[in-house]
Amino acid sequence: MSAAHDWARRIFRALGAPLRLGEPGIGAFEWLRPETIDGLGLDLDGIEPCIVVHVATGTPLGLVPSWLDTPHGRLALAPRRVPRPRLQCASLYIDPPSGAPRVFGTAGFLANDAYAPGADYLVTAGHVLSTDTRAAFDDPVTIDADSGRLIINRAYLSETATPVFGVPPAGIAGPFPVDAGLVRLSPGDWRALIDRVPELLPAAIADPPAVDAPLRVALPGGRSLTGHAMREESVLQLDFEQVNPDGSRFEVTLRIDELRSARLDQRSEDGDSGASVRDANDALIGIHSAYRDIDDASVGNALYSPIRPILDHFGIVALTQASRNAPLPTRIRPALKAAQARPAVVAPPAAPPSLRPSDDEVVDTLARTLWAEARGEGDEGMAAVACVILNRVAAPRWWGRTIVEVCRKPSQFSCWDEGTASRAALMRVTSADPYFVRATAIARNAAGGGLADFTHGALHYHAIEVLPRWARGHVPCYTLGRHVFYNDIERSAS
């Protein structure tokens, strides 16, 4: 892939964030509104790459500008008129962008964004949506309903909790706390699913049942795999074959922690991943992740991701039979994980990163920050976050003057916020975790002055699945994995 194509893909993914959030863009991107833009596509087959903009019926094509100005020159925009997607569901399958074998999965449940009503999703297993290292926002997902009598080709990957983007050959992605992912639906189609596929709606939401309590994996067409709950929590490691552009192949490993186990009476098949797991009262308790061939009846042969951590991770609300006709709940969105832009203040000349109050405390604080923010992004992803922290120390402002101050500044790196699960996790992690060992090595090198900035002076970043208000109208200076970096936020804010 050429540099121009790579940059076009990064811009394409960043532009998709407002559509996922159901929010309009501002400034130069004011045209990017969910009520007028159905979606985006990326065309890399021409002489120059361009982004295809799917314009809703009734919206003038002239609303969309002809190009975007980027640090790498102009990127063409091509408006197209397409009908809004019509979606049904039961089973789903994906054609990976790398050309690897087709991936199959099952729809688990329907949900809407708890913070942005109108952003509606189908939820399935995360590893179904991210078995390819090139998987990206807006990749197409095909949904096969009613035993093949209805095929939907216009559903799109919105977010996955188990990304493998950028993982090198033989690398490990994770560990991740949940195995779940979102497929974006239009509001009208989401409502149609409620009316036409009632089996997607559980009776309620519940915690995992007691040991030996009955449960079932709900499959398309009213089929079920029955079984009972087991005691142990489990870790799942999945190996996926990837295909390079030259046709060569390699493997990456995906690790998912904190799964629950069950003992099924029948073997699940390939493609059952993502199906809802329900208790004896038909309450949704999780989504099915994997089946293991284990003869010992005292050990679970199936793994599932509990429902409540999934809802908390994505900030979504699951639709149930009880809530189908109730008003959609809304919440105040919590502080963003990325740094917030604020007015700049006059500061004394920049000083090099400080290793005070103590070298050990600085390295430990930085390592825990890198582990919490980017352990799923590999060594390079953690080093990129370290670059942002060091860039802030080198340009001291409201965010602090030392590594420890920058990392622990309230409402910046939310992993340090009091009372959060992220803070509890980062305070518990030890050198027994291989990712923390790597984070510590990167932190020691960075704090000692051995890390050269490769983010082009970035002072801010955010996860690619969101578009914070402070980032609207700005072009990223660097993109790596699931993180988008900026070096012009403070200048524009001041």
Q: What is the pLDDT of residue 342?
A: 29
CA geometry: angle at 117 spanning 113 and 119, to 5°? Answer: 55
227 and 371 share one domain: no
Buried b (16+ CB within 10 A) or exposed e, 145-183: beeeeeebebbbbbbbbbbbbbbeeeebbbbbbbbbbbb
35 and 99 share one domain: no
- Is 342 inside any structural domain? no
- Is 307 inside any structural domain? yes
Q: What is the pLDDT of residue 228?
A: 95
Q: Pull the structure tokens for residue 223.
A: 């089929």
106 and 159 share one domain: yes
249 and 116 share one domain: yes
The residue among 81, 112, 127 that closes a domain is: 81
Strand 172-176, strand 249-264: pairing: parallel
75 and 95 share one domain: no
317 and 192 share one domain: yes
294 and 309 share one domain: yes
- Is 338 inside any structural domain? no
Q: What is the CATH number of the domain that holds 222?
A: 2.40.10.10
Q: What is the pLDDT of residue 86?
A: 29
The residue among 35, 62, 81 that closes a domain is: 81
65 and 102 share one domain: no
Is 60 buried (19+), middle (13-18) or exposed (0-12) by CB count in 10 A?
exposed
- Is 344 inside any structural domain? no
Residues of the chain under the 70 pLDDT cut: 1-2, 13, 16-30, 34-35, 38-39, 41-46, 56-58, 70-72, 81-103, 115-118, 132-139, 145-155, 164-167, 186, 188-189, 242-247, 326-358, 465-466, 490-494
- Is 343 inside any structural domain? no
Q: What is the pLDDT of residue 55?
A: 77
Q: What is the pLDDT of residue 159?
A: 76
Q: Pull the structure tokens for residue 455.
A: 């983010």
What pTM did the predictor assign? 0.52
The residue among 288, 313, 332 that closes a domain is: 332
Number of domains in the chain: 3
- Block residue for tokens 């006059």: 346
- Is 153 inside any structural domain? yes
Q: Pull the structure tokens for residue 48.
A: 């120059």
- Is 130 inside any structural domain? yes
Helix/strand number for the chain, H first, E second: 11, 23
Q: What is the pLDDT of residue 304?
A: 95
Q: What is the pLDDT of residue 493?
A: 37
- Is 432 inside any structural domain? yes
Q: What is the pLDDT of residue 337?
A: 32
328 and 412 share one domain: no
370 and 307 share one domain: no
Tell me which residue range forms the domain holding 120: 86-332
73 and 98 share one domain: no
Q: What is the pLDDT of residue 305?
A: 94
Q: What is the pLDDT of residue 40?
A: 72
69 and 109 share one domain: no
